Amino acid sequence: MDQKNSLIVQIGFEIANRRRLLGMSQEQLAFTAGLHRTYISLVERGCKSPTITTLESIAASLGVPASEILKSAEDNVGKLAEG
């Protein structure tokens, strides 16, 4: 699978997009999720794959369930694979 289409990359894209829509910085998200800003950056760029527990913390900080982030990322992978 192409790196752009990978689920990990799309999860990072979803997190970054939702964070920006809320007007949050990476530092703010990291603080509320109990993580380091550098880690948030790595996740958003698709360099790190968050554990389920970490994804839950990030999602809670964004005000959504982890399942919503995962579902959106899966949908994006599917759309990219089709087109």
Average pLDDT per block of 10 residues along the chain, 83 residues long: 75 98 98 98 96 98 98 90 73
d(CA 62, CA 73): 15
d(CA 42, CA 49): 9
d(CA 58, CA 78): 23
The ranges assigned to domains in the chain are: 3-82
pTM greater than 0.95 (yes/no): no
Q: What is the pLDDT of residue 1?
A: 44
Radius of gyration of the chain (CA): 12
CATH number given to 3-82: 1.10.260.40
Q: What is the pLDDT of residue 45?
A: 96
Q: What is the pLDDT of residue 79?
A: 82
